[in-house]
Amino acid sequence: MVENMLVVSEQVIILFLLAVLGYFCQRWNLLSNETTDGLAKLSLYVVAPCLMISSFQREFDPLLFHNFMLAAGLMLAVLVGTILLTRITISDPDERRKKVLRATAIFPNCGMISLALEYALYGADGVFYGVACVAAFNLVFWTYGILLLGTKKDWKLSTTLLNPGIVGTVVGLVLFATSFSLPSVVTGVCDHIANMNTPICMLVIGQRMYGCKIKALLTDRPALWSMFQRLLMVPLLTILLLWIFRLDTMVAVVCVIAASAPAAAANTMLAIQLKQDSVLSAQIVSVETLFSMFTMSLMVALAKTIL
């Protein structure tokens, strides 16, 4: 348990320091809302697809594919279950706040902290199964997430199916299934762009934190309830589900890692694009990232013990 605490804490501290840098960039007038709006678009529409394609560049293996689909199915079940849970348990008189509170409870950071922790625990195979969780996340985030944070005008079947997250996942799966290796120049470009994912997202989060009243968030009962569900309730329910079905230990623990992650920075990116309460979203993401230093280690240690 102590080892897990140290591994998670290191990753969280790195992310938090990147967010702090974004905060001071705003304070020093090096970043503005217009700049981070552009960075948010870059993250959603360019960086994320390259991350997916880069992760799938490996030889096809039937067992890996079976476990990949199993992990994706489990994560999809967790996300759908959380959607149903939040529709019952999370409400707010302010419609914009309610949307953000539900979104941050539903969509975890399974593409940053999770992948780093999965690599630390299980190496390349752990990351590969983690990418399956990211694939399920992309499917739900770019469909239900747009419906939740936007309006019916923002949701169109053509643009939803052709969104960068789903396209990147499909292209990556095809490359993996066919064992097709992209030219080294192309993979090099994808790798470099994929490496931009974490710093861009956290700099945007940090910039949006400037002027935020963190103390007020800690007395905001609806926000605290949303954070409780994301960091503790959903992971515990996921562990219970996986314990009942007794699945492959590595796949199960990887799913718990993804389900126990703090709210994804993509929530704030999409909130910016759809003109929702991005300040509240950034506050929740930042505070949850800090708290996850303790909660994720507890959930992962419990999962490794039980599963």
Q: Over the stretch 230-274, which tens digit does the pLDDT of each residue have?
A: 999 999 999 998 998 888 889 999 999 999 999 988 888 888 888
Residue 204: both structure tokens together? 């945007």
Whichever domain contains 35, its CATH number is: 1.20.1530
Beta bridge mates, 263: 108
Q: Which residues of the chain have pLDDT under 70?
A: 1-5, 151-161, 163, 165, 211-212
Compute CA distances 101 → 149, 223, 304, whole Å. 10, 6, 30
Structural domains counted in the chain:
1
Write the single-letter amino acid at 239.
I
Range of the domain at 14: 2-306
Phi, psi angles (nearest 5°) of residue 210:
-60, 125
Compute CA distances 232 → 119, 213, 220, 307, whole Å. 22, 24, 18, 17
* Residue 277: per-residue pLDDT: 86
Cβ distance 24 to 164 under 8 Å?
no
* Residue 87: per-residue pLDDT: 94
Output b/e per residue, 175-203; b: 16+ Cβ within 10 A: bbeeeeebeeeebeebeebbebbbbbbbb
Residue in the structure block whose two tokens are 């880069």: 54
* Residue 84: per-residue pLDDT: 96
Q: What is the pLDDT of residues 100-119, one digit of tens each?
A: 999 999 999 887 778 878 87
Residue 273: both structure tokens together? 């694009």
* Residue 153: per-residue pLDDT: 66
